[in-house]
């Protein structure tokens, strides 16, 4: 009852304030918002947010009061948020805070895309999911949490992997896209789809202690391809599951993304468009770098050569090519047999980092970290079978390729699926992490 009275008072107060002339710029930035509402010639930029805008209910006025008393947001801004549609791709480390804050802020239509299941290793940073959600689809768990935070908003869920075939259809009805994905192929896909559909794309990415954020293709600003024309070749860079990530880091970068998405909906403030923000969580340093639009950009430049979505797995080199350096692979049980029967023929090289090795080593193995393999190539005996091992067998394969490229001609094999496979198939006392 009391809350309703407060809401009613607030509503009357806001109506009073609204009678005063507000010197607010319209979307088009050419004329004030009030002119735009009354002029015979209306700006055509984003007309949907001018007309047919839904009003806020009394309950919503109370809920968003801290926004309403900010002159930069106010009633008009909150209505824009309510009528705004944001697509959050991925409900992981980045997508969690993005979805939570956008929901709380009152973004009226929130699209979420994910195809994954909640597992225990997610909970260190993916704060939209909880322990009770283990093994549930992330989309279901995210949906429950979002509607608990804000039952007034509409959630559109896409339980699918976004790809070249469905991206346009998924994105086209949203005003802003937030990239919370975890791989280069999807990031370039989202970039290209947003340029083709003329939508702003709020970018964020993390690795270990480092975060990056920007706003791409906002009002014709630079895009991901202007920043990085192409991704690293497949297999050159370890992923988060191998390289690790500080749990709070995607929280910080995701909050920055949510902040940018809100300003894009409000069409006010200064976004990261044309700026590239780099964050080092370990040193607590933010750096801002200028980002220029590349006139030669193949998708947003003066003469675009990409006019429709392409095959992004191919573009990122994820489809194996014949000219790849072949790498011999050995299973944990086969390696165990060699160690037991002919130990003098094999040299086991553990390329994991010292803190990983501290969790336990395989018998007869020797530690040479990933980052020193090429420099120390003289230490590998070309007459023996050199078996490279790591946690999952991915980094060790990269190390083998680097060593072969550096001219090592002895026999090298990769322990398939790494120490985790050894733990599963040979020795259960070895730690899986």
Partner 1 sequence: MAITIQLPTALRTFTDGLSEVSVEAATIDEALRQLTKNYADLKRHLFDDSDKLRSFVNVYLNDEDIRSQNGVGTALKQGDTVMLIPAIAGGR
**Catalytic residue set:** 240, 390
Residue found by looking up tokens 């699209």 in the block:
111
Q: How far apart are CA 57 and CA 63, in angstroms?
A: 10
Q: Is 321 left (phi over 0), alpha (psi -120 to 50) or beta?
A: beta
Do 392 and 242 contact (CB within 8 A), yes or no?
yes
Interface with partner 1 includes 405 (CB under 8 A)?
Answer: yes
Among 210, 313, 334, 427, binds partner 1 (CB under 8 A): 210
Binding segment for partner 1 (CB under 8 A), chosen from 40-48, 59-67, 285-293, 383-391, is 285-293
Interface with partner 1 includes 46 (CB under 8 A)?
Answer: no
Nearer to partner 1, 47 or 229 (CB): 229
Do 195 and 305 contact (CB within 8 A), yes or no?
no
Interface with partner 1 includes 286 (CB under 8 A)?
Answer: no
Q: Is the torsion defined by CA of 306, 310, 316, 317 positive or negative? A: negative
Q: How far apart are CA 249 and CA 205, in angstroms?
A: 10
Minimum separation from the CB atom of position 28 to partner 1 (A) = 30
Nearer to partner 1, 196 or 403 (CB): 403
353 exposure class (CB count in 10 Å sphere: 0-12, 13-18, 19+): middle
What tokens were used for 197?
């559909």
Minimum separation from the CB atom of position 386 to partner 1 (A) = 17
- What is the torsion angle, in degrees rounded to the nearest 10, for the CA atoms of residue 107, residue 257, residue 117 and residue 141? -30
Nearer to partner 1, 289 or 337 (CB): 289
Among positions 155-174, residues that touch partner 1 (CB under 8 A) are none
Minimum separation from the CB atom of position 394 to partner 1 (A) = 14
Among 64, 184, 312, 422, binds partner 1 (CB under 8 A): 184
Among 93, 97, 274, 317, binds partner 1 (CB under 8 A): 93
Q: How far apart are CA 316 and CA 235, in angstroms?
A: 10
- Backbone dihedral angles phi then psi of residue 275, each to the nearest 5 degrees: -135, 145
Minimum separation from the CB atom of position 103 to partner 1 (A) = 19
Among 80, 145, 187, 352, binds partner 1 (CB under 8 A): 187
In the complex, the residues that contact partner 1 under the rule CB under 8 A are: 90, 92-95, 116, 122, 126, 179-184, 187, 204-210, 212, 227-232, 236-237, 239-240, 243, 245, 250, 276, 278, 280, 282-283, 287, 289-292, 353, 369-375, 402, 405-406
């Amino acid at each position: 009852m009391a809350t309703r009275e407060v809401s009613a008072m607030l509503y009357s107060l806001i109506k009073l304030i609204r009678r005063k002339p507000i010197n607010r710029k319209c979307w088009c930035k050419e004329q004030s918002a009030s002119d735009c509402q009354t002029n015979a010639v209306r700006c055509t930029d984003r007309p949907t947010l001018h007309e047919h805008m839904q009003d806020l209910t009394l309950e919503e006025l109370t809920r968003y009061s801290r926004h309403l008393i900010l002159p930069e947001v106010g009633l008009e801004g909150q209505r824009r948020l309510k009528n705004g549609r944001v697509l959050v791709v991925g409900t992981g480390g980045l997508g969690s805070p993005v979805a939570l804050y956008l929901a709380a802020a009152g973004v009226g239509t929130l699209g979420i895309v994910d195809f994954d299941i909640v597992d225990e290793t997610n909970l260190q940073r993916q704060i939209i999911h909880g322990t009770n959600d283990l093994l549930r689809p992330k989309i279901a768990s995210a949906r429950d949490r979002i509607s608990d935070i804000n039952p007034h908003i509409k959630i559109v869920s896409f339980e699918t992997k976004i790809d070249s075939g469905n991206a346009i259809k998924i994105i086209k009805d949203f005003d802003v896209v937030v990239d919370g994905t975890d791989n280069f192929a999807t990031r370039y896909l989202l970039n290209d789809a947003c340029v083709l559909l003329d939508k702003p794309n709020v970018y964020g990415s993390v690795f270990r202690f480092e975060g990056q954020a920007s706003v791409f293709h906002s009002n014709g600003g630079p895009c991901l391809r202007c920043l990085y024309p192409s991704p690293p070749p497949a297999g050159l860079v370890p992923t988060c599951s191998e390289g690790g990530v500080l749990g709070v880091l995607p929280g910080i970068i995701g909050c920055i993304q949510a902040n940018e998405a809100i300003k894009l909906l409000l069409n006010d403030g200064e976004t990261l468009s044309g700026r590239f923000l780099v964050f080092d969580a370990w040193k607590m340093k933010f750096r801002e770098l200028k980002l220029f639009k590349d006139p030669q950009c193949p998708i947003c430049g003066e003469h675009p050569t990409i006019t429709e979505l392409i095959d992004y797995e191919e573009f990122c080199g994820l489809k194996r090519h014949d000219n790849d350096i072949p790498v011999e692979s050995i299973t944990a049980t086969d390696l165990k047999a060699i160690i037991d029967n002919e130990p003098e023929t094999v040299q086991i090289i553990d390329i994991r980092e010292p803190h990983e090795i501290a969790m336990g080593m395989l018998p007869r193995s020797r530690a040479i970290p990933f980052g020193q393999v090429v420099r120390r190539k003289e230490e590998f005996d070309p007459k023996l079978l050199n078996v490279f091992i790591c946690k999952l067998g991915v980094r060790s394969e990269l190390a083998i390729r680097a060593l072969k490229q550096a001219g090592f001609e002895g026999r090298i094999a990769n322990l398939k699926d790494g120490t985790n496979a050894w733990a599963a198939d040979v020795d259960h006392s070895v730690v899986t992490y």
